[in-house]
Amino acid sequence: MKFAIIAAGEGSRLKEEGVHEDKPLVRLCGEPMIDRLIRIFRDQGATEIVTIVNARMPEVVAHVSKIAEKTKGTACPLRLVVKSTPSSMHSFYEISPMLTDAPFCLTTVDTIFREDDFAKYVATFSKSDVDGMMAVTDYIDDEKPLYVGTDMEMRITGFYDDKRDCRYISGGIYALKPKALDTLRKCIDEGQSRMRNFQRQLVTDGIRLQAYAFPKILDVDHAEDIRKAEQFLTSK
Burial class of 121 by CB neighbour count within 10 A (0 to 12, 13 to 18, 19+): buried
Q: What is the pLDDT of residue 101?
A: 95
Identify which of 104, 88, 94 has the alpha carbon closest to the alpha carbon of residue 46: 104
Tell me how far apart the alpha carbons of residues 192 and 199 are, in angstroms, rounded to a whole number: 11
Q: What is the pLDDT of residue 11?
A: 76
Q: What is the pLDDT of residue 12?
A: 84
Cβ(51)–Cβ(78) under 8 Å? yes
Q: What are the residue ranges in the chain where pLDDT is below 50?
A: none
Q: What is the pLDDT of residue 38?
A: 98
Total-model pTM = 0.96
pLDDT digits (tens, 9 = 90+) for 39-94: 999 999 999 999 999 999 999 999 999 999 999 999 999 999 999 999 999 999 99
